[in-house]
Amino acid sequence: MGHVVVIGAGQAGSSCVAKLRNSGFDGKVTLIGAENVPPYQRPPLSKAYLLGDMTLERLFLRPESFYGEYDIDLRLGTHVDSIDTAAQTIRVNGADMAYDDLVLTTGSVPRRLPASIGGALDGVHVVRDLTDVDAMAPRFTKAARVLIVGGGYIGLEAASVAAKLGLNVTLVEMGDRILQRVAAPQTSDFFRDLHRSHGVDIREGVGLERLIGDTHVTAAHLSDGSELPVDFVIVGVGIAPGIDLAQAAGIEIDNGIKTDSHGRTSAPHVWAAGDCASFPYRGGRIRLESVPNAIDQAECVAENIMGADKDYVAKPWFWSDQYDVKLQIAGLNTGYDRVITRRTDADSVAFWYYKGSELLAVDAMNDPRGFMIGRRLIEAGKSPAPELIENPDTDLKALLKA
């Protein structure tokens, strides 16, 4: 059945090759990863792993033995130099490797601070892979002073771990509020209060002007004119899709590697899935940065390589763990004009996003029931009246049958 090569040994790449084998694909399968460890979970890196609650082996998505047992050629610590879509080859370690189908699961890369403002100083970290977290872990000592740049979920998760370990944490967000790009003011307010209750100094509407230090960062000059002594810095200012290989090969790019509804790119026999891929969604085009999307999209591509001719229908959901709060998000809130608050008890609350009468998304804090029902309603295209959601006496489960 030919040779399928998958570039990128993360969640999407691992899911793709596993789905191929579990679906009966008996051709050759090669999975290529730049890191020296087998595919692993990334979300726990900045939480359980950094806290010391999870070992390296528990991070692995599948046992190391899985790849040999399923006859998957796993090539770790391997860099792909280029793709020749006309010849259907890739260049690896100076040699050409032929493919019948190529899947790009090249993920995303963290945005870094420019060297001109101190981004290259020792002690300035990003949170993306195992190497990043291993490099910063020794700095998490009690009373150390850490500056976190960026008030998105990555920055807030890093702040929660640092505060739990007894560090002095300052977080700066140049926007008007934390989570401004991804959540309603109500969710921002919830997490601001949560972090401040744990001693985190959150400064909104304040940017980083520059970092100071000869070789190692020692201070930060902020846009409000203040100067902050720091021992190290964590940068959480977003990620960008891993498009370099595809772009150099002439594959079409549109907020990521552009695919059709089946996962095909503009080049014959080349597919893409996961953080790096943009795809059709409700008349537009989106790119989702989430574990569930990486799994589902990669498995859909694997099925289509085997001839399923199947559209990928995204069902967006996300999560974030901070202190003892689990945030679960269903749907996408883009275009919302109303937020309904539903509180079930003192420790649980959910914010339901509406556009007119249409339910778009739910942010559920320690409310797994609200999240699951909200998710099922959104996926079914059902939009209960906001007044029903707001009423604490409403049986949410009954809304699924309405």
pLDDT at site 240:
96
- 201 pLDDT higher than 80: yes
On whether the CB atoms of residues 183 and 349 are closer than 8 A, the answer is no
Walk me through the domains of the chain, giving residue ranges and CATH numbers: 3-109+240-305 (3.50.50.60), 112-235 (3.50.50.60), 324-399 (3.30.390.30)
- 1 pLDDT higher than 80: no
Instruction: Annotate 317-354 with b (16+ C-beta within 10 A) or e (fewer).
Output: bbebbbbeeebbbbbbbeebeebbebeeeeebbbbbbb
Angle at which helix 153-164 crosses helix 185-197, to 10 degrees, equals 20
Tell me which DSSP letter residue 253 carries.
B
On whether the CB atoms of residues 286 and 262 are closer than 8 A, the answer is no
On whether the CB atoms of residues 283 and 253 are closer than 8 A, the answer is no
Q: Residue 47 — very low, low, confident or very high, per pLDDT cuts 50/70/90? A: confident
Angle at which helix 291-305 crosses helix 11-22, to 10 degrees, equals 40
Q: What is the pTM of this model?
A: 0.96
On whether the CB atoms of residues 244 and 263 are closer than 8 A, the answer is no
Q: Which residue has the tokens 């269903």?
A: 330
Q: How far is CA 208 from the centre of its chain?
A: 24
Mean pLDDT of 47-64: 92
- Quote the CA–CA distance of 74 and 68 in Å, as a whole number: 8
On whether the CB atoms of residues 272 and 104 are closer than 8 A, the answer is yes
Residue 197 phi, psi (nearest 5): -70, -20
Mean pLDDT of 321-335: 97
Mean pLDDT of 345-356: 94
